[in-house]
Structure 1
Amino acid sequence: MRLLLLGAGLVAIMLLAMLAGARGIAPADLAALLGHYDPTDPAQITLLEIRLPRLVAGLIAGAALGVAGMVMQAVTRNPLADPGLLGVNAGAAFSLLLGATLLGRGDAASLSLLTLPGAGLAALAVFSLGGGLAGDAGPVRLTLAGVALNAFLLSLVSLLVLLRRESLDVFRFWVAGSLAEAGQRPLTGLALLALCGIVLALLLAPRLEALSLGGALARGLGTHPGRVLAGALLAVTLCTGAAVAVAGPIAFLGLVVPPLARRIMGTEMRGGLIAAALLGAGLLLLADIAGRLLIPPGEIRAGVMTALLGGPVFLWIARRLRPGEGA
């Protein structure tokens, strides 16, 4: 029932995303606009060529980041774990910017694929530096490793921009995160990548529950922590790479969503992952809608809106942590 209510709420947000904006669309006109294509109708162009791709991109990126955050917090036992805070978003964005700098801007489909190796290497680096590969991951070590990696990657991004001025246009999009260029992304292929990551996370859910109890208890329950961790890394890489390719490095969404999902679904991991996907998609679409409505006809990027929400939540969670919690 709770998942059905979340699904119904997401449908309502999707309808709002198609109707709301600087050029409003009446609900009564929506069915007619979707029923036939008229290239001379400004309202239909706005709906089909601008808002509908943004809607699809928001669903992909939001669901993927919600699931990625849920998986990372489970395997690290760290409520501060997040693809953005732990440098995975930055790794994906840096990989794409490096490829665009060395190979030229190219087409969107080719550049989007570059996010996957960057996300994977960043996730592996954080887990390794934080002791995750040795089964000794604690919240403080992982957070410090992620902050250090994030700062390092951002310094490399700045270096690329200084060396190649033409990289600035690419950087301006990827530094904040936005759904504004969704129509230029290969949404079908990226949706399949995100779906693969989400399905993998759902398949790993029972083992993630065991792993969240700690490495020793997980082994006692017959779980192989190394294999589960490798699968979790792959799921996070697929989800984060797809999300960054669609919308850029959206901050804090993977941090905010998992506590909400756990509050709604309890400790059951599979239901929590589904709730995280629904909540992530809904929150990102709401952030995009708010960004469009606050300063019309301009807009505030969705990544800025999620950071405005996620910053206070991060401080609230950090203040509630007890010394040694999750270590």
Structure 2
Amino acid sequence: MRAFLRPDDLRGLVAAHFGGDRRLVELERVTGGTKKGVYRLGLDDGTTVVLYVWAAGENYWPPAPAAVPDDPFTDASGAELFAAAHAALTEAGVGVPELLALDRSCRHVDADVALVGDVGPVRLERLLQEDPAAAAAPLAALGDALQRMHTTRNAAYGKVVAAGTAAGQRPAEDVIVARALGHLGAAAALDGRLADRHDRIAGHVRQLRDAVRPRTSFGLIHGELGPDHVAVTPGGAAVLIDIEGLTYFDVEWEHAFLQLRFGDFYPALRPVELDQDRLELYRYAQVLSLVEGPLRIAGTDFPDRDWMLDLAERNIVKALAAVQ
């Protein structure tokens, strides 16, 4: 059984960062996360803050298949990545929660933690579903933020905490092909339909890669930017959350995911000009990722296992349809 934080576990942390005269009066573990714990802390003066906890007991993900060299999307979790991403997005003028404290001492909690400003519970996903008119302003603001991110360029791809020189890097599209084939192999071991069509799917991936032209400049991308990862403040501002995966990479990777998650609302984001061949490769690679990842986490004690299995099934259908 997983043991999550209780109010008594956080008394010292609250006193250290807010003073001994401040008390924790309410603690809510925010559900939905898979890699870190997210807690809303209510203080005795009526204010709230949010605590991120990077602890093994908060991470539902089992070990991934063998790592792909140069892959910037592996192990996209941790306090160091969060701090680097927060700094890079702030510099780019993109809304993120206010960073109140980053504590890696483990003095109060046996994990790396961050205290951030509470931007509230409203997510853009909910507004798009329930009140599209109210979603229009934050959606436009998100489009502006993406323009700033995707035009922030770097000669090498990689996590912002480690992006350096492009020397010796293999083409980004080859990293994605290796990822896709790894996801295919792992998923085929769990689903007979994919196993039966493994070679045809792998051939389709390689065919898509052959159409992609070389590139030597990369934009700043979130990496997994669905409307559930965009908080909307009471004032209507768009704030990015779950930012640890921030990396320099092909913006087509971001837009393949944005198209999937935003659907009919995607054009309102006013995307930058995209390479359609690269976009098509990345779109199909993400389909395979959205089979392997959900099947892997569904084999754990993740509480919403059926949702993950449904997600995997939808993408299995997409993967197979491409090679009929």
Pick the structure with more strand per residue: 2
TM-score by length of 1: 0.25
TM-score if structure 2 supplies the norm length? 0.26
